Amino acid sequence: MAEAGYRVTGRVQGVGFRWWTRSLATRLGVTGTVRNMPDGAVVVHARGSDEQLASFHVELGKGPFGSRVTAVEPLPFSADGFADGEFVIVR
6: pLDDT strictly greater than 90 = yes
Output the 3-class SS for the chain.
CEEEEEEEEEECCCCCHHHHHHHHHHHHCCEEEEEECCCCCEEEEEEECHHHHHHHHHHHHHCCCCCEEEEEEEECCCCCCCCCCCEEEEC
Residue 28 in any domain: the answer is yes
- Residues 27 and 77: their CA atoms lie apart, in Å, by 21
As annotated, the active-site residues are 18, 36
Which one, of 73, 89, 70, lies nearest residue 23 by Cα?
Answer: 89
Cα 60 to Cα 8: distance, rounded to the nearest angstrom: 8
pLDDT value at residue 31:
96
pLDDT digits 0-9 by tens, 36-90: 999 999 999 999 999 999 999 999 999 999 999 999 999 999 888 888 789 999 9
CATH code, domain carrying 9: 3.30.70.100
pTM here is 0.95
9 domain residue, yes or no:
yes
Phi first, then psi: what are they for 78, rounded to 5°? -135, 135
How high is the pLDDT of residue 84?
A: 79
Structural domain count of the chain: 1
